[in-house]
Structure 1
């Protein structure tokens, strides 16, 4: 059994922080890239798909690499690639080259995501404490810090390339701090894993639930502003469009940072049930509320309810016995990213056929399915937090 003491916990948290910093650093560069290259919305949409495609293609192979070589080299190598290509996102001179850089960036982010979650599963399992929500909370914190730092650097007058380089150096420094506690080997089940196993048994259920949860997150990111600003009473203005996602993201971060204690006291299954019900109530609130304040309360409920669902599902993937843990983590992470990519388009199709409130009500029903899954034993999260 690998050593998973305080240093390993700290390194896992730093890996999640670095991933959040990396992923969010691209967001402030999107409008600059659009302006620099003279891209239309359709062209930009295709380029953004390059990032998602890189992640989805890299994730399954990451399970094999981590099983064979351990988490440390995979996390550090993928993190190094992120640091090297991040400035390229700011100065790529053509749409074709930007697409290639985005694909590479997405592949590195996807690899880092799977490897750090495998590390998190091993560290949590061997510690006997509920830790996964806190790990994912650091990813959310990194997202705030990365986007905020990039915006601040650009506001201070640094050009895009210099700002991206500063963020790349920051990510590198965080990963350097994490290096000593990253696992050079994992447990026996992971080390002996085959190259590929078709997802089956509990992994299919866990992956489907991850898909639904990430689908909802992707939909909120792209559609919450429109829901807030269209036909929602006299207090709904265009300037308030971003408040919905902000309320959701802040609530989710707070929920994850306090989630380990909650899961430790209530148990994973109960938190999964209550979280699904809370998120469902939030979606129905956004649909039924007649004011912006009421809708924002709904987004807060969604963030709080959904905050610990994915961490609990990752814990469950590491605890199931249907297939090796590393391959299970790769499978559910891939399905989760697929949900993020599919969510905005799916909501668009449903909204076109019916209306946007109806589409959001459908997301509420999806959260009820997640709550119902708790009665099937979809979670096996640790039941107590070590003191």
Structure 2
């Protein structure tokens, strides 16, 4: 698994075409060592990829390595060992390991000699001693509804949510429930199509705290003209802003401007509209109902929204109330909606929790100012 000529790479990429790369690694430890292997593959070949991983691991244990493979591995390790000596941190780590594990004082000085002395028989016996394929843990991250049953051939399947907690099994979707009904129920839950459609524009200000500093998000929506603006301020200073108007998008970060690509514009249009569910049909989006999921204890319909160029987000609508309670966006992260309040006859979430890999802790944001159908000028989008 150590490179482009390795068994895993040649099997899963070159022979099967399942992935761009498949790799493995060893982590040595005095108490518990670890062997792991991984690849990112297409959903429809998840189980097939696992079969190949198991095949290669069994083959390593049962048949061992060849003399040619061992010589290539030695050459690779010798090269990487030599390059590592250029780093003072490596030298310090060597000294630490000698003390920590009680190694001979000349362990690293004679490392290459010891490695070169290893034989095929040494390697193959070590594989038999230390690798037990029956003890493998198989972890698959993806769409559970599509891969769960296929993975059952390898043993009991236990599901976890994206936070690592055991996932709750949800009831099956009623046969007569459709994605159109989920969206209709949501629009009815917030006040009905007539009231929701009457909101043509909005100004929203949200405030949160991050790392002891106030973070402010200002948004302006102009549904009629498909214009949108967002400013993100930290400590009162604008750190980032984005504007969509006249069919184009612009992003500014610390004073540096960059035009959005077609793909970025395609994905950003999802955020352009206030109450976007009213416009999914006219935007040409594809909607898919992906079952009932558990959202922090609340059963919710999952709806996958796909743009014409293939960008996707997932919305979750409470089975009981019909309200949208979560949005999953691969770019901005997960947003949870709470504290719905009636504004102009429409139920609006006044509190949001944002969880993203870009921020160290969940962001608790509250709407501090909301203007519905304000008079907008060109200045609002500059």
Global fold match (TM > 0.5): no
Which protein is richer in helix relative to its size?
1
Normalised by the length of structure 2, the TM-score is 0.19
Which structure dedicates a bigger proportion of its chain to strand?
Answer: 2
Larger gyration radius, structure 1 or structure 2: 2
TM-score, normalisation: structure 1: 0.19
